[in-house]
Structures are given as structure tokens and as C-alpha cells.
Structure 1
Amino acid sequence: MYKKSVQGWLKHLDFMILDVVCLWISFTLAFNMRHGSLDVLANSLYRDMMWSLALMDIVVIFFFDSLKNVLKRGFYQEFVMTVKQTCLITLCSVFYLFTFKEAENYSRLVLGYTAALYLLLSYVLRCLWKNCLRKYFGGAEKRSLLIVTVSDIVDTVIDNIKNKNYGDYFVTGVCILDKKAKGRVIDGVTVVADEDDLVEYVCREWVDEVFINIPESEPYPAELLDKFIEMGVVVHMKLAKSQNLLGKKQFVEHLGTYTVLTTSINSVSRRQIILKRMMDIAGGLAGCIITGILCIFVGPAIYIQSPGPIFFKQTRVGKNGKMFQMYKFRSMYMDAEERKAELMKENRVQDGMMFKLDFDPRIIGSKKLPDGTIKKGVGNFIRDWSLDEFPQFLNVLKGVSGIIEPTEKKLDFTGFSLA
């Protein structure tokens, strides 16, 4: 599932809101400097102007594309664009005042002060917000990107993606198709796979997306592309090395300075992502409240029969191989993992890919009586009623997992084929 980037002026709605707020603050301060009051709304002329300024700002951003590539602009480029934005809004203000014949009643000092304060405030806050986005918000949503290329251009490709992806991706590794270089480090990025074991690596490790950049003289890797798509991995193919795949979602986008054709099984819009996250938060909050209530009853029952933590933590493999910590109510004794080796001979699953017992003595309170009957304990009760799963709502609330998603696999789960 590919999260399609927001297109158009709504892509930077946060910067637009920030810009309007800066303009209002500048206007209020300018009014105070001229009239000695912060109560702009008390004066009908300035109150109308305040709302008009917000509309002017949005119109200028929309028609002049002022926020295009805002995250990619340097300090000088940002300053030039802010000056342009300030001049356009000032001209719109003058036009508004003359059109509605309010120029004589409106203070020219307020107009000048507003422009100067807005230029300074907007420029500083834009730079600070961009830095904040990269530093504090970029890491949480970074996607793991694997680069697939050839030896002649590998250095250029790595440098471009690392320095021009603007915090969207974490480069997990590189694969060189025409050379055995596994283990080599290029510009801080490790060659993690060769052509022979590339599919195996993508299947086993955390890889959200793959970027393929190969010269036109090289054959098109159609088989690789098909396997990646089957695994649910998003593929970015540098144009003009592309292919039309029936039944798959394809978009032309930018990755670094490259124009790429992005292919995935399906895609979701920003609106759909927000709606799903709202559902997860609502469900996560409800689940965490229920978990807290269950702790009052389940916690003491676990601790009395098996002293120790009432929660069990385990590393699981989630979407595209990304690992996270999963939490459950502990339903087994503290030495359950150590005793597993002793019980392997009783495993009902012969291939060893899963571990199932008719009677598991590791479950808290579970006993086998002399007559062969099995007495169930608190651990069985927790499992039978799936109460052990409720602490997972914490991960739903954190955004690590969702209410509706594929089952997370254990690290030792290998019971599937790449064929």
C-alpha cells in the first residue's frame, strides 16, 4: 500500500496556516505601534482589513505558487520568496484600500509596519518550521529505501538520494546488479545484497520501497519488479526505464532529483490516511481504557501465581519487515522460553515452523492430573478469552500498528516460500 503524496497547494497546508498567523500577528503589532492598542477588532476598518489580509495571503499562495518546493529551498531562496510574497500582499492591500475608498482613513504607517514585521516574522518562522519538520517529524515517518543500481553510477545515485530526499527516506542499503560487492560500504551505505540474493533480502529485512536506477543499455529487470510488487513493496523506477503493468497503480513522481515511475499494488490518499489514523486513535484509546480495567483483575491473578512482570514483551516483524515491540498480558511462567527446548519433541507441528502442544505446562496454573485430565489455570483463561491481546492497543495508539492490519510475525517465523 503506497501513501500517495499530496499534490497542489494543499500539500503545504501547515506553511499556509503559519503564514496567515504571521500576517495577523504582524498586522496586530503594527496597529499597536501606531494606535497604542492591540484591540484590532474594535475598529471596523482594521477588522475588515485583517480578514482581507488572510484572504489575500491565500490567494497569492494559490496563484503564484509561493510554497512550491518550500522544503527544498535554502536560506537565500527562502528570503527571496518571502520578499516576493510580502510585496504581492502589500500591493493587494493598496489595491483593496483604493478600490473600497478607504485609503484616506487607513494609516500608511500600519501598512509599512505590517510589511516589515511580516517579512521578518514569516522568514524566521518558515526556516524554523522546516528545521523542526526535518529534525523532529521526519524520522517517525521515514520509509526504508533500498537502492538497486549498477557499479558505474552507484556513487552518484547514493549521493543524490542521501542528500536530496529531504528527510523522506532512510537508505537501508544498496544492491549492485553487475558486480559482487556485498559487504562493501559506499558513502556510508552498505551493499547489502547481490543480484542473486536481492529478493531474499527484501523479503527478510525492513524494506518499504525500492529505487531502481539502471542505464538504458541494461536489460529491464521485469522479474525483479514483479516479485517486489507481489511482496507489497513499492517500486520507484527511474524514467525512461519503465514498463506499463496492468492492474497496478502507477504514478510519475520525484525521488531526489530523479523523475521516477512509482508502482504499487494499491495507494491511499492523505485523507484516507487521516481517517484511518483517527479510527486507530479512537480504537486505541478505548482499548487502553479496557486494558487498564483488566489490569485491576488480571494483573494480581498473574502475579500471585507467577511473580514477575504482568506484561510480556516480544520483538515482532511488521509491515515490510519493520520490527517493533509487541505487548501482551503474560500467560506463561517466567522460564517459558527456556523450557521450550525440552518440549520440542512433543510439538504437534512436524516441520517445526510452529509450536503447538496438546498440554503446555508453561501456561500459568495449567496442570495435568494423575488421571490424565488437564486442569486449566489463569493463563488458559487469559488465552481462551484473548485477554492477553488487549495491551496491543498501546501500539495502536502509538501508531506502531493499527486496528486493521496483517498479523505480525515472530522473528523466527520462516515458514514461507519465495517461489
Structure 2
Amino acid sequence: MYHVFIFIRLTCDFFLIEYATRGGEKDMGKYNRNATTNLQHMILDFISSFIAYVISIFAYGDISIMFEPRYVMLWLVFIGVYMIMASNNSLYRVTTFFYTDRTIKFVLKSFFLSIAIISAILFIVGESRINIDFYLLYLGFSFFFILCSTFANRIFRKKYSSKDAARTLLVGNPNDFGRFRHYIDRSNMNINIIGYINDKPQLRDNRGEYLGNLDELEKLIHDNAIDQVFFQSSIGEDEDISSYISRCLMIGVTAKVILAPYHVGGMQSYIYSVGTYPVVTYHNVNLNKYSCAVKRGIDILGSIIGIIISIIPMIICAIAIKIDSKGPVIFSQTRVGKNGRQFKMYKLRSMCTDAENKKESLMKQNKVEGGLMFKVENDPRVTRVGKFIRKTSMDELPQFFNVLRGDMSLVGTRPPTLDEVSKYQTDQWRRLSIRPGITGLWQISGRSMITDFDEVVRLDTEYIDSWNIFLDFKIMLVTVMQVFKRNKGAM
């Protein structure tokens, strides 16, 4: 019994942690928190899990364990944890799109996370308390029946539950409802669309689903026993949409507003609430806190390792620089970082001390058109030691300190100078939407060969749009290979 008690205690702690993570929603829309929850799907999963439990016992061949507390607790806790995982993966939202491959993926993800959690708990309380053969049988049957219940729920909601579906009225331009209705069909929303109302009172429509105009809203709701009304937010341009919403609420009909989507290539969006205010967020940079934290963690760890490995080569280079030419060993320059933040970037000095003064006289030799970057062939300002440390990328080593400070990342976009940024066009600013990096997609694509700044911007924005941790590792690996090969395209 002691092990069962521990098992229950650990499980309760897990559920309390899960509830605590949602504490911000405690007082926000408490009546609507589960408005889009697919309760039918949850009940089917619970029943399916019970069927799997019973069949597993018969397959195992020992019916006497059916009512033993530790086995009953295993079943109850497992399905409880699975339902939490499935909820986090949006399987229980009626608004989630139903695609076969995506649904199987979500079920698998939720199921394996549940196995990991339950197996960890069993290990802590003593796995010998649960027969491993029964446990494996139960997992196999559970997955099969839960997956079947997911597809059964889809079939049932789409074919057999129309009688209880909310009778729905669409208000707005009928030509704009095509995609919306397609999305409804792909989801598990139980909606019976009765027809639509044109948002232009002066226009009539002879199409079959046309019911009338906006000025007839109340009458049409009564005549067609409407449960809910979807308004296009765009009708507010000519009409006060709030007055129609109030009219629906006065007669006890639910009103919903479809926000007009705004789409730009590479853009993503999501909706959340601040108190009672819905907020639509449009973005084209990664806002996932977990992945951003992982990237920052890799930057910190990588920069510390980089500093430790490169400290001796930096000292040797510093001595060589001091012997070769007069001036400081470290060159610092103000560069532009994320969204225009300015910082001091550090490099081992590879040029003469008056290099900036000589830059103007070399502008005619600049290989990059428009002056948005500066690159000349056989730059006369580079010292003898400078040529070597540039070719081997050793001049970049002090930038590990910039990464450790958080001004830069190991992988990102090239940090531009203030002068370069002052000439940027609007669309070119987008390359500054993330931290600049020691290396990046542009650098490993043959930076010495690229003289078209638009191509640089394209590569940088391609990196921003397709960023993931594995892409960073790939770029770092290619960078290291290029450095060892002393390729001209290396940093």
C-alpha cells in the first residue's frame, strides 16, 4: 500500500504542476475556458482506455488483478496523463484541423510522453509492483483503441451529430466565406450553416443560401431558429458592428466575429487574450520561448568553450600583431544588432590603425553596389599578420565574448556598421530582426563571391524564416569545415 500511496502522491503532484502552469487563466474568461473543448472526444478516449485495460487483463490471463488498487491506479493515472498531453497538443479542441498524418503524429507524441512520465513514476515507486508483461499489453491495446476513438470521433461528429449542431448564420460578403467554410469542414466544429446575410442592405442576392440583408437580422434569427451568428469584422467599415452584436445578445443568440486575416509571405500569426482583450500577433521571427532559450543556452555554452579553446591562439596572434604593426591588439567597432541595438564588436586587429580614414578613398573599388556593404579585393589597409588571421578567421575569435554577453549569437546574420544601416531600404531592415552571428547562412554560401547585397538579404531572411536548432548546428559544422580548408568563402 505504501508504494500505491507514493504512486498517487507523485501523480497528484504532476497534475498540480500542470494546473499551476495555467494559473494565468484562473480569473480570465473562466466561463469560456473550455468553450472549444471536444468533450465527446475526451469521453471516447476514457472509454477506449478502459476497454484496453479490460482486454489487456484477459490477454494477460489473470482476471484477479482487475480490481487490485495498483493496476486500477495504473489505468486511471495513465489515461489522466495522456488526456493532459493530448490537450496540450490540441487534440481536444474542436477548432484543430483534422488531417490524418497530423492527427496520428499528435496521438503518438501524446502517447509516448505519457509512457515516459508513467514509466518514470513506476521506476520511482518500484517497477516490480506492476507486471511488465501486463504493462506492455496495456500500452499496445491503449494506443490502438485511443487512435481508433480519435477517428471514430471525427466520423461521428461529421455524419451523425448534425441534429444537435448549432444553427448558424453568416453575416458579410458571401464571396469571403468560402475559405472559412473550408476550415470549418476540416475541423471538428459542429456547425449547421443555415445561410448568410449580405452586409450591404442595398444589395440583393439570388443564390440559394441567401436569406436577406443586415437590416433584417433580428427577424431572420427568429424565423430560422438561429443559435449563433458569425460576423465578418470587415462589415464594421460601413456599419457599427457592435450594435448588431448587442442585438444578438439581447435576444440570447451567440455572436462571433471573424477577424479579417492579414497575410504576407513568410508571416505567421496567433491569437491570445490579455484580460478581455483578444490580441492577434503577426510575426516572421521565431517567438517560441523554449527554442529561443535553447538557442541562447547553446550560445552561452558554445562561447565559453570557444573562449577556452581559442585563448592560446588569441595570445599568440596578439603577440604577432604587436610585433608586426603599431596599435592596439583588439579592434572594436560599433555595430548594429537586433532591431537596431548598437554594441561594440571585438576583433583581432587585422588592419592599420588609420583604416577608417582610408576607407573613403577606397569606396570606388567597393565590390558591393550601393555602399550597403564594404568589400574590396586585396585591401591595402590589411597588415601582413592581418592577411593570415583573416584567411584563417582567427580575427573573429574575440567575438565569442560578444556572444557570451548576448550582443551576438554563434549563428545569425552579419552585423552591419552604422554607416551601412543608414542606407538600408525598408525591406532590408528585416535582416536585423534577430541577433547577428559570428557565422551564418550568408557566410557559408561563399561570402567573398557575393557582391549583390540583395542576395545577402535574401540569404539572411531565408535563415530567419527557416530557423531551427538543427540548421544552426549544420551552419556551424560547415563553418568549421571551411575554416580548416582555409576556403576563401570561410569567415
Q: TM-score, normalised by structure 1?
A: 0.46
More helix by share: 2
More strand by share: 1
Larger RCO, structures 1/2 (Cα 8 Å, 6+ apart): 1
Q: TM-score, normalised by structure 2?
A: 0.40
